[in-house]
Amino acid sequence: MMRTDWRDHDWQLIHTAPQSPTLHMALDDVLTHEVGAGRRAPTLRIWEWASPAVVIGRFQSLRNEVDGEAARRHGIEVVRRVSGGGAMFIEPGNTITYSIYAPQTLVKGLSFQEAYAFLDEWVLEALAELGIKAWYQPLNDITSEGGKIAGAAQVHRGGAVLHHVTMAYDIDAAKMLEVLRIGREKLSDKGTQSAAKRVDPLRSQTGLPREAVIGRMVATFRRLHGLSDDRLRAGELAQAEALAQSKFGSHEWTTDVA
């Protein structure tokens, strides 16, 4: 099995109307499987959120990470994703989230550290075009002079790699700290100054609406790697909806690491 390059693949873009947190979790599972099985071409998916959520990593303890009472009070759903890494605080419009579903050949022979940086090189270029000097900070962060911008996570299975990233556009830090139990040590890592009310590295450093930042990212990916506009197949959506209900919306999955 030879290593492949971006241009060896026929990249597809999926960017749909806002969807629920559990459906997003399920779509990552289903689309990784479809690319691994060769039924779907490698794909970039941009997420739009229909409702607020805390998304915890596969191995995070629910009670250690989330103040359940605060989450309920703010109407925030707590979901667990398939990949490791840390918790994300999502309100529609406050972040930019994307997934890359690629054949494992694209990262064959790379160390984990190299694979994370490699799959986000296009993002660093898009950020540079927007005037942000950003760089990869191992193991899995994109950071900038204005603080941490993004966290990435990968899962490898069935011949495919899932690489998904959440970037902070304009986060209400006070609300985030009510809901997430983030230790003081971890705060600097989240780009949060002690008195900061917002964590907004993308908004403050570009001065652009979120949609314009996404537009620049998509254009950069398209120019570098090629990208055709695509949509979810009916079968993919049906599978994901079933999985969202049976697995990702279940108490058993969310409390799997209590």
Partner 1 sequence: MHGEYKMPGGKLVVIDLELHNGRLADVQLSGDFFLEPDSALDAINRALEGQPEHADEAALAASVRHALAADVMMYGLSPEAIAVAVRRALHQEPSA
3-state helix, strand, coil in the chain (%, to 5): 40, 25, 35
Alpha carbon of residue 95 to chain centroid = 9
Least distance CB 200 / partner 1 (angstroms): 23
Which member of 58, 175, 210, 216 binds partner 1 (CB under 8 A)? 58
Site string for partner 1, 166-205 (x = CB under 8 A): -------------------xx-------------------
DSSP class of 49: B
Query: What are the b/e assignments for 76-110, b being 16+ CB within 10 Å?
Result: bbbbbbbbebbbbbbbeebbbbbbbbbbbbbbeee
**Straight-line distance from the first to the last Cα atom of the chain, in angstroms, rounded to the nearest whole number:** 40
Task: Give the number of residues in contact with partner 1, rule: CB under 8 A.
Answer: 25
Complex with partner 1: residue 1 or 195, whichever CB lies closer: 1
Least distance CB 81 / partner 1 (angstroms): 11
Least distance CB 131 / partner 1 (angstroms): 30
Complex with partner 1: residue 59 or 135, whichever CB lies closer: 59
Which member of 37, 50, 128, 139 binds partner 1 (CB under 8 A)? 139
By CB under 8 A, residue 84 contacts partner 1: yes
Which member of 36, 42, 52, 85 binds partner 1 (CB under 8 A)? 85
By CB under 8 A, residue 153 contacts partner 1: yes
Least distance CB 158 / partner 1 (angstroms): 11
By CB under 8 A, residue 1 contacts partner 1: no
Which range, of 34-42, 55-63, 118-126, 162-170, touches partner 1 by CB under 8 A? 55-63
**What is the Cα gyration radius of the chain?**
17
Least distance CB 223 / partner 1 (angstroms): 31
Instruction: Tell me which residue of 158, 217, 175 sits closest to 32, measured CA to CA.
Output: 158
Helix or strand holding residue 186 (H, E): helix 184-187
What string of H, E and C letters represents the secondary structure of 92-160? Answer: CCCEEEEEEEEEHHHHCCCCHHHHHHHHCHHHHHHHHHCCCCEEEECCCEEEECCEEEEEEEEEEECCE
Write out the residues near partner 1 by the rule CB under 8 A. 57-61, 64, 82-87, 112, 138-140, 153-157, 185-186, 257-258
